[in-house]
Amino acid sequence: MVTRPMPDPKILIEHLTLHYSDGTESLNDINLAIPANAITVLFGPAGGGKSSLLRCINRLNDLADVKTLSGRILLDGENILDPKTDIIALRRKVGMVFARPVVLPLTIRGNLTYGLELAGERRRSRLDEAVERSLKQAALWDEVKDRLDDPASALSGGQQQRLCLARVLALQPEVILLDEPTSGLDPISTGKVEAALQELKKNYTIVLVPHSVQQAARTADYAAFFLQGKLIEYAPGQEIFTNPKDKRTEDYVMGRFG
Amino acid sequence: MRKRIPLLRNRHLVQRLGFSLLTLMAALTVLPIIGVVLFIIKEGLPAISWEFLTAMPREGMRAGGILPAIVGTLYLTLGTAIFSVPLGVAAAIYLAEYAPENRLTRLIRIAIINLAGIPSVVYGLFGLGLFVLFLRFGTSILSASLTLSIMTLPVIISAAEEALRAVPQAFRTVSISLGATRWQTIRRIVLPQAMPGIITGIILGLERAAGETAPILFTGAAFFLPRLPHTPFDATMALPYHLFVISTQVPEMPFQIQYGTALVLIVFVLSMNLIATIIRSRARARRQW
């Protein structure tokens, strides 16, 4: 496996091993350094452990039936798998966008202010500010600014997914995890989401599980290839898609399996 | 060689016959309900008057109104709600949202299912033993309400748990990923979404409590009281028990008053049912998932 030394990664994953009780996905001794201000793509065939890894980074796996979990995930040098970690604070710092756009059964505005209100923000001006900023960042402001108090479920699928992204951004996180965020979207909506991500990476650490190799190649600054719970190859995007070192990575990128 | 065509025709015939039979069966289940309601309306309506609804009974309940029975049933339903709703909803939240799958929760579930199967007269005896005698609440609205509450609990718990479980899991995952605690997720997302289902369950449970006779027989119902109850420790008249009394215990009882009382009871219960139906259909129209 190719690993590069990386000075000061935002997230450093060390010897991470994970097994679910039902034996579905698993991760075996993953070592990965994720830099700030870049899009790091985790790709590979289904069941490779990409989503499981994402769900470790904001401790969403706490909700799942995990049998074994060992290793460390350092976020700014702090091990977030430590039982003493403030999970609520962690989840505000590490946001997640899911494959299926799930808007909460609230208004558009309600979806965006939900996390902030839970964090104790009551000032209307701050909330309004966050609504506008996050919608602009997710390239949705112009489409919804006149109907912020409509139910969020009235939006189209593509709009809902951008709302989900905006909802994460409203909390001003440091890391954004995206699990196949465009799998259900048409090419135009997908383009909008990808463009938003390129803009966002200037200020955020982005970890993306893409829904296709093509999307991986389009968006990746760094790319990690996962196969059956193992990290096969990790390299800058241009390298891994044009000149993969590992035969299995090459076969997958070339479309010989998957 | 066999003839095939009659066989084919035969198959269609069987299908149509079966279909008609099923339709007939479905229609038959509705008939008794309509029949009962229409009969009671026909017989009872002439008895209904302002006096009947608002006056005390006179002449050994053979004349006058049934106000104390109406008020009593209202009190008992309200009392039952006070005890069974918080307990039932809390239990449902625990079972649907927090309980791990282990021996204890399995035991709780089995207990709830069995609670629903116990004959109502047994609840009455239990209430007599525990509330009336042991806790010394006497034959009172309090004892009767508590007894009805125990009977109503399984209905409310099951309906509320089902309504909570019907809320998509994804809402919970998303809410928690945004930094909500479990309780914040339940209070702000899950409960509001499950509320119509929970309210429907509550009303259906209370409706059953309002119409029951056996559980209040030994615990709170009075044969005849010349005045309305003043405190929860007073006994009370109640519609179902009053109906039983005037139908079997009082000689030379005018039929009209019996059917009038039955009509009031059935309208009371069916209107609760109607409210539940309206809440359910409105919520379904507004639901976003």
CATH number at residue A220: 3.40.50.300
With an 8 Å Cβ cutoff, is B177 touching chain A?
yes
The predicted structure's pLDDT at residue B281: 87
Q: From chain B, pick out residues whose CB is under 8 angstroms from the CB of A111.
A: none
Joined tokens for residue A188: 């135009």
The count of other CB atoms within 10 Å of the CB of residue B129 is 13
Q: Which residues of A touch B184 (CB under 8 A)?
A: 118
Q: How far apart are CA B262 and CA B44, in angstroms?
A: 7
Q: Chain A residue closest to B188 (CA)?
A: A114
Q: Both ends of chain B: CA-CA distance in Å?
A: 58
Q: pLDDT tens for residues B177-224?
A: 999 999 999 999 999 999 999 999 999 999 999 999 999 999 999 888
**Within a domain: residue A171?**
yes
Average pLDDT, chain B: 91
B175 to A171: CB separation less than 8 angstroms, yes or no: no
On whether any CB of chain A is under 8 Å from the CB of B188, the answer is: yes
- In this predicted structure, which of B50-59, B126-135, B175-184 has the lowest mean pLDDT? B50-59
For residue B219, give the nearest of B65, B105, B80, B31 by alpha carbon: B80
CA distance A173 to A89: 10
B175: contact with A, CB 8 A cutoff: yes
The count of domains in chain A is: 1
Residue A258 lies in a domain: no
CB contact under 8 A, B178 and A89: no
In A, minimum Cα distance to B180 occurs at A118
Model pLDDT for residues B154-179, shown as the tens digit of each residue: 999 999 999 999 999 999 999 999 99
What does the radius of gyration of chain B's CA atoms come to, in whole angstroms?
A: 24
**What's the whole-number mean pLDDT along residues B95-106?**
90
Tell if the CB–CB gap between A153 and B288 is shorter than 8 Å.
yes
Nearest CA in chain B to A177: B177
Asked if residue A65 is part of any domain, the answer here is yes
d(C-alpha A41, C-alpha A210), whole Å: 7
User: To the nearest whole angstrom, how far is the Cα of A254 from the nearest Cα of chain B?
Assistant: 35
Q: What is the ipTM of this complex?
A: 0.90
What is the pLDDT at residue A63? Answer: 85
pLDDT of amino acid B13: 87
- Say whether residue B1 is in contact with chain A using an 8 A CB cutoff: no
Asked if the C-beta of B171 comes within 8 angstroms of chain A's C-beta atoms, the answer is yes
Asked if the structure places residue A5 within a domain, the reply is no
List CB contacts (< 8 A) between A86 and chain B: none
Residue B8 banded pLDDT, cuts 50, 70, 90: low
Q: Is A2 within the bounds of a domain?
A: no
Residue B253 has pLDDT above 90, yes or no: no
Give contacts of A167 with chain B, Cβ < 8 Å. Answer: 178
Residues of chain A with Cβ-Cβ distance to B170 below 8 Å are 98, 100, 102
In chain B, what residues touch A105 (CB-CB under 8 Å)? 171, 189, 192-193, 288-289
* Ordered structural domains, chain B, with CATH: 67-237 (1.10.3720.10)
Note the pLDDT of residue B7: 59
This prediction has a pTM of 0.84
At B285 the pLDDT is: 80
What integer pLDDT is reported at residue A112 of this predicted model? Answer: 96
CB contact under 8 A, B288 and A63: no
Tell whether B288 lies on the interface with A, counting CB pairs under 8 A: yes
Interface of A with B (CB under 8 A): 58, 60, 63, 88-89, 91-92, 95-96, 98, 100, 102, 104-105, 114-115, 118-119, 151-153, 164, 167-168, 171
Domain enclosing residue A213, as ranges? 11-253
β pairing state of A175-179 and A205-209: parallel
B168, B178, B180 member nearest A167 (Cβ): B178
Q: Could B179 and A102 be called an inter-chain contact, meaning their C-beta atoms sit closer than 8 Å?
A: no
Calculate ∠ Cα B54-B56-B61, nearest 5°: 125
User: How close, in Å, is residue B109 to chain A by CA atoms?
Assistant: 22
Size of interface A-B (CB pairs under 8 A): 61
pLDDT at residue number A7:
67
Question: Is A193 a domain residue?
Answer: yes
Looking at beta carbons, which residues of chain B come within 8 Å of A61? none
A206 in Cβ contact with A38 (< 8 Å): yes
Nearest CA in chain A to B174: A102
Low-confidence spans in chain A with pLDDT less than 50: 1-2
Residue of B nearest to A103 (CA): B171
Residue-level pLDDT at A2: 46
pLDDT tens digits along A154-181: 999 889 999 999 999 999 999 999 999 9
Give me the pLDDT at residue A3, please: 52
Chain B residues whose beta carbon lies within 8 Å of the beta carbon of residue A58: 177
pLDDT of residue B115: 87
Cα separation of the two ends of chain A: 20
Q: Do A115 and B180 touch (CB under 8 A)?
A: yes
Alpha helices (runs of H) in chain B, residue ranges in sequence order = 5-44, 50-54, 67-93, 103-117, 120-127, 141-165, 169-177, 182-185, 191-211, 214-217, 239-248, 255-286
